[in-house]
Amino acid sequence: MNTLSEVETRVLGSLLEKELTTPEYYPLSLNALVNACNQKSNRVPVMNLDENAVSEALRSLDKEGLTGRADSMDSRVTKFEHRLQEAFNLDRREISILCELLLRGPQTPGELRSRAERIHRFDELGQVQATLQSLAQREPPMVKMLSRSPGTKEARYSHLLSGDVQIQAPKTTTATQAPERAVSHRTADGERIARLENQIVVLRNEVEDLKHQFAAFRKQFE
């Protein structure tokens, strides 16, 4: 699959969002899709796309098998739908996280948990982290953990449908500049620690699930 442009990402994310949050108005006409792309809420950055830009993005996405014209009883108005499910076979949790990343860009697991609630409720932060791990372990990966910013507790994640994301380590303005190699080592260490923390959360969730399954199994013989 070719990498998606910023406009294609916005079109795909908007179609996905409207199917999940307002299914009674989905699929979308071209005019409704333009409005969805340009809305000021739940969008980073806010865009001002016209019908030509959205139509061109739809044609490109159609070639990739990610969108298409919807079968409609009303032949007077052409409507469009996404085909992300057919392309990637995502579950509800994965769809909700990917949708927010497409519409808002890189975010922390905490931000994703709060913002994705309108699509799917995550009871615990660990469920968000497990879902991010699932998306990151796909082949090819669909999300990536970015380097943790100084002074922050959570790493941010980005989708990879627009290609790899390169985040430069922040420069320091000290009297003695640290060697570039040391900066790269610290960045790599930070990424490794954050990745291990997320893996631990996933393992804990799996252990809890096994405990519940075992408890249910024991009740059958009590």
Cis preceding-peptide flag for 140 (omega within 30 of 0): yes
Domain coordinates of the chain in residue numbers? 6-88, 92-219
Q: What is the pLDDT of residues 39-95, one digit of tens each?
A: 999 999 999 999 999 999 999 999 999 999 998 766 689 999 999 989 999 999 999
Please give the residue that has the higher pLDDT: either 27 or 181: 27
Residue 183: its pLDDT value, please?
A: 42
Residue 186: its pLDDT value, please?
A: 47
State the Cα–Cα distance between residues 1 and 136, nearest whole angstrom.
Answer: 17
Q: Helices in 64-179 by DSSP H: which ranges?
A: 84-88, 92-104, 109-115, 125-136
Query: Stretch 162-185: mean pLDDT, rounded?
Result: 53
Query: Considering only 34-43, 79-88, 209-218, which range has the smallest mean pLDDT?
Result: 209-218
Residue 157: its pLDDT value, please?
A: 97
Residue 130: its pLDDT value, please?
A: 97
Residue 133: its pLDDT value, please?
A: 97
Regarding pTM above 0.85, the answer is: no
pLDDT over threshold 60, residue 174: no
Residue 33: what residue type?
A: L
pLDDT over threshold 80, residue 189: no
pLDDT over threshold 80, residue 3: yes
Residue 150 contacts residue 100 (beta carbons within 8 Å): no
User: Is 92-219 in CATH node 1.10.10.10?
Assistant: yes
Q: How confident is the model at residue 172 (pLDDT cuts 50, 70, 90)?
A: very low
State the Cα–Cα distance between residues 165 and 159, nearest whole angstrom.
Answer: 8
Are both 6-88 and 92-219 of the same fold? Answer: yes
Q: What is the pLDDT of residues 94-107, one digit of tens each?
A: 999 999 999 999 99
User: Is 6-88 in CATH node 1.10.10.10?
Assistant: yes
